[in-house]
Structure 1
């Protein structure tokens, strides 16, 4: 039995690596869905207040189950900074093994089924590796615990009772490069019922009952998580076009720089002044096109930075329209953390790289 359990655990832990390829790990941004399943190991449960022959017995009982399985499904939202929130539904099943009353063991039939919902919160850690994101999570919710045909010697129970539940989660996600937004996951979960439950049943055909204390489950799960809306890929830098030899050199383009606070795309008062100056200059000169290009520093992932640079460029373009520039004259580009104004390494918050360039042509 121990060898079989070890083999199963090794297979479960290896599965995400087998199905994932080297991809760029990134914080989850926006809505996502997930599905998982795995190996469920349930603790024994202590029961007291046993009713036998119409009165409460002084005996206590302990209910033992076999290892089983669990299934989880969730919908959530990632905030792009490592934090996630989700709603999860789950189901787990463990067959009854035996029921020990006093010093006597009774072989048991039937199974316990657990199902319910959790509200979970997570944090994804950026450890600098391109192919995985560790994460920790915790949740609180409600679980229904169904004793289905628990038959142990003279006792029989077939009831469902609910209790407050909580869980702790530690996991790894492995981005799958072939499908943007898709990640394989490997998790350990500790799931517990915080309250006791009272079950009514029968003892030798007469009414019986017992009060079952808290229980907990250890789970090893594998799964898939899919981010519903992934950022657009970073477009290649425009190739320079050589001017014909006989053509006169074009007049130098006039450029305006709009800077942003870290991880922001709203326009400051100084940014509004620069945008207004660019709009005024476009009216007084022979300008046919305003190129609006967004950039970021290197503190985020390439995918997140690409989306942020687009939001910055769109914010500047919208303000140009407010300042009287025709929308048809504006071309919007987003280059993320490429084309740095100040060369830096990865993960550096450089203010001059957080910009939008307005080029009048």
Structure 2
């Protein structure tokens, strides 16, 4: 149950969302971590070397099982990332596990004792790991980098336990004291989470399985059994324990020194230049006339010349009159409307003679509307008798 619960917790942490882009390590880094250690039941065989009349070698081949309770682990390491997801690191480890129960015998002759004691292991590993770039491989842009790895190393282990039994109404106490050392290996699965605002700093969650093929395998864990009274103590036994497995669920932090620099600030927005203001030329006319004066022709020529020196997309030619009319009465406004259009056509014809394409010119007559100078009714105002040439 403890194993399933810890696996579920690690999986949920690895799946937690975060909010920025993931980091690929390039160069040196350091890391520390710690967490829960769960050691599998260890099986062993007890062997008695006493041979005295009180015991008569009846422990030869006795099955022995050590049951572990809660434990913890801690590690620290330094490593190097190659920038392509591959990393190597060296770490030191310390593991501690409580032993709360020991079982001996088998079948109908199985005896369970309550144990006080613990074991520990310490040493180092050389690990090779690979960071899985989710953005590059799967186009998943999250600040999480899963990783996998394997390691090989060397661990020292020692144990100290005291177990009380009631064997057929007789009290017995079995102690194990001793240790062993040898090759160890581990498998690693985890994920790193970028910490916002601190480039190079990551939180990590990991599951590790450590194996020790020679855990007490050479008989270095001595045993002492006391049955009934101190005079029946045996001091020459030993126990061979089998392969040891540690399951570990770890939270840590890691800092990469050569972290990628923050992205450059966005380039300032390019503000397009303000459009060039339209240029306007005014051509004035005599009362009730649409013919161009000499000065008017000079102004039209200036407008035509300007249209070739600046980027011009359209030329407006708008004709106007004052509010007096050669035809009095209700037909005066209609007359002035036609007069303003004739004035605009006169200016258009002069622009064409000055080299402006006809299809670039739009003409419009507005009559008495939009006076340049406000006046009373039926007033002859020279500035209102005009044509506006507007270059767009």
> What is the DSSP-based 3-state SS (H/G/I as helix, E as strand, rest coil) of the residue aligned with 1:180?
coil
The answer (yes or no) to whether the contact 1:37–1:221 under 8 Å persists in 2 is yes
The gaps in structure 2 that reach 5 residues or longer are 52-56, 136-140, 166-172, 227-232, 272-392
Task: Give the structure 2 partner of residue 89 of structure 1.
Answer: 92
Q: Does 1:146 align with 2:149?
A: no
Q: Does 1:125 align with 2:135?
A: no
Q: Does 1:222 align with 2:241?
A: no
The answer (yes or no) to whether the contact 1:193–1:215 under 8 Å persists in 2 is yes
Task: Give the structure 1 partner of residue 329 of structure 2.
Answer: none
> What is the DSSP-based 3-state SS (H/G/I as helix, E as strand, rest coil) of the residue aligned with 1:178?
coil
How far apart are the structure 2 equivalents of 1:13 and 1:191? 19
How far apart are the structure 2 equivalents of 1:11 and 1:178? 26
Say what the alpha-carbon RMSD is for the aligned residues: 2.6
Matches within 5 A, 1:143-182: 143-153=155-165, 154-182=173-201
Q: How many residues end up aligned between the 2 structures?
A: 239
Tell me: CA distance 1:48–1:5, structure 2 relative to 1, closer, same or farther (3 Å): closer
How far apart are the structure 1 equivalents of 2:146 and 2:34? 19
Higher alpha-carbon Rg: 2
The answer (yes or no) to whether the contact 2:98–2:119 under 8 Å persists in 1 is yes
Equivalent residue in structure 2 for 1:206, among 220, 234, 245: 234
Tell me: CA distance 1:108–1:147, structure 2 relative to 1, closer, same or farther (3 Å): same
How far apart are the structure 2 equivalents of 1:201 and 1:238? 75
Cα distance, 1:137 vs structure 2: 0.3
How far apart are the structure 1 equivalents of 2:132 and 2:27? 17
The answer (yes or no) to whether the contact 1:70–1:92 under 8 Å persists in 2 is yes
> What is the DSSP-based 3-state SS (H/G/I as helix, E as strand, rest coil) of the residue aligned with 2:77?
strand
Cα distance, 1:25 vs structure 2: 0.8
Tell me: CA distance 1:175–1:10, structure 2 relative to 1, closer, same or farther (3 Å): same
Task: Give the structure 2 partner of residue 271 of structure 1.
Answer: none
Tell me: CA distance 1:190–1:241, structure 2 relative to 1, closer, same or farther (3 Å): closer
> What is the DSSP-based 3-state SS (H/G/I as helix, E as strand, rest coil) of the residue aligned with 1:92?
strand
The answer (yes or no) to whether the contact 1:25–1:132 under 8 Å persists in 2 is yes
The answer (yes or no) to whether the contact 2:184–2:212 under 8 Å persists in 1 is yes
The gaps in structure 1 that reach 5 residues or longer are 243-361
Matches within 5 A, 1:1-361: 2=1, 21-51=18-48, 53-54=50-51, 55=57, 57-102=60-105, 103-128=110-135, 129-153=141-165, 154-197=173-216, 198=219, 199-204=221-226, 205-207=233-235, 208-236=237-265
Tell me: CA distance 1:178–1:75, structure 2 relative to 1, closer, same or farther (3 Å): same
Q: What are the Cα deviations for residues 219-240 of structure 1, in whole angstroms up to 9, with x where unaligned?
A: 1111111102323334447769
Q: What are the Cα deviations for residues 79-111 of structure 1, in whole angstroms up to 9, with x where unaligned?
A: 111000001111121111111110111111111
> TM-score by structure 1 length?
0.60
Tell me: CA distance 1:109–1:241, structure 2 relative to 1, closer, same or farther (3 Å): closer
How far apart are the structure 2 equivalents of 1:42 and 1:213? 13
How far apart are the structure 2 equivalents of 1:189 and 1:109? 27
Cα distance, 1:21 vs structure 2: 4.8
> What is the DSSP-based 3-state SS (H/G/I as helix, E as strand, rest coil) of the residue aligned with 1:24?
coil
The answer (yes or no) to whether the contact 2:44–2:64 under 8 Å persists in 1 is yes
